[in-house]
Structure 1
């Protein structure tokens, strides 16, 4: 950790084989910026001064930690959800710009955690944007639902030890994209609005999950066959899909129905315990 009394900044960096990161706390501007090396991503948020140590206390905290063999668990925790991309990185100062330049940089907004559900009540009440996270399996997986009412875009992201994925539904353009991290692949398709939940129904689906005592099977399923195809202009699908899929193997996913289709290996993703997205490799097409 390094501390600058001149700029009122503290920089904390961790390097390890498991995960490496760097965070900048600017007590002058009240801004936090964190870079996660493994995902090559930056997050910028506003400081919660009531939960974070004061600037004067940082040197003392660092000295105390050096005298400990086992650091133990943190005494405080702040949970954030992403809330769109940062458009003007230079406005956050030279150190943040230098650290995050060239990386996808997201605004991160603090949320309150209650019974495993992360909810931003202010955004929900204003009907601008709702972001929730709900643990839905015993294996430790949880899903984050993000709704952008301005752009009519919803994303559902699941993180777990067994496999993580993210799907983006653009209700404005009618396109959807799903990124599967174990395969380092992205699947592009046209939304089936008949089978998929409406945009306005998504907050209620998240609320229904909170009220359930046990996980349930999805009530609907859409099956796709995958065709490997070069997407020459990924940006035409919108910034959310572009940043999700860039640098990954991209497939076009076509919906199929009926047993007459000979499908190869498949992967099934459970979105909000409502819709199962099944993607199958067709050996004759991929």
Structure 2
């Protein structure tokens, strides 16, 4: 009898714990398409400590991976056939649990932007190709394998060295505005 009770409670625990460990997906549509953002899909996988953002705006689609375990993120620019890797700024990027919570709350409310404006980050891209992706972790390796990959470093504030046409914007829904600047993203 005691074994049956333990199995029952273990199963019950699995039912309640599974949603906390599982992936969570949302889709965000920009009906006005005023910033050219098109449609974004955000997937949060708490178990593997990874968030994935797919952005399909028709002209410049991209995919981003935030690997909270390694502390790195990558953006794959499909039109340019390039990857840009950078460190996660833990002061600006919400934790995976906060991201999951923010995304769920906004999705359930049926609205996107609200509250404080998104934080902005500007990165300077090193034009020298990264040869070894191992330190970035398996998710970034899988996304950037066989694609020219470059490292980017965060810059403080606006830089006089970059003009708007030398930057690629990878805004993450209503949470974060990111600009990657340098010669590799220039038209």
The TM tier, using the shorter chain, reads 0.7 to 0.9
The aligned residue for residue 191 of structure 1 is 88
Tell me, yes or no, if structure 1 residue 134 matches structure 2 residue 35.
Answer: no
- Which residue matches 2:59? 162
The CA deviation string for residues 224-268 of structure 1, in whole angstroms up to 9 with x for no partner, is: 011122322223322211121122221110100134541141121
Q: Which residue matches 1:179?
A: 76
Give unpaired runs (5+ residues) of structure 2. 1-15
1:200 corresponds to: 97
1:218 to 1:266, Cα distance in 2 relative to 1, 3 A: farther
- Tell me the CA shift for residue 222 of structure 1: 0.5
1:257 is aligned to 156
Does 2:170 correspond to 1:269?
A: yes
Task: Measure how far apart 1:126 and its partner are.
Answer: 4.1
Q: Please state which structure has a larger fraction of its residues in strand.
A: 1
Distance 2:18 2:56 in 1: 23
TM-score after normalising by structure 1: 0.51
Q: Hey, what does 2:119 align to over in structure 1?
A: 220
Structure number with larger C-alpha Rg:
1
Query: Which one has a larger percent helix, Structure 1 or Structure 2?
Result: 2
- Please give the TM-score of this superposition, normalised by the length of structure 2: 0.75
Q: Retained in 1: the 8 A contact 2:122–2:158?
A: no
CA-CA distance at 1:213 after TM superposition: 4.3
Question: Structure 1, residues 122-181: CA drift from partner, whole Å, max 9, x if none?
Answer: 997343221222223434822221222222111111112132111111111111111111
CA distance in 1, matches of 2:168, 2:159: 19
Q: Using CA pairs under 8 Å that are at least 6 residues apart, name the structure with larger relative contact order, 1 or 2.
A: 2
Closer/same/farther in 2, CA of residues 175 and 163 from structure 1, 3 Å limit = same
Residues matched between the structures, number: 162
Aligned runs of 1:138-149 on 2, under 5 Å? 138-139=32-33, 141-149=38-46
Query: Which structure 1 residue ranges, 4+ long, deviate > 4 Å from structure 2?
Result: 212-218
Give the aligned CA root-mean-square deviation in angstroms: 2.6
Counterpart in 2 of 1:16? none
Change (3 A) 1:198 1:126: closer
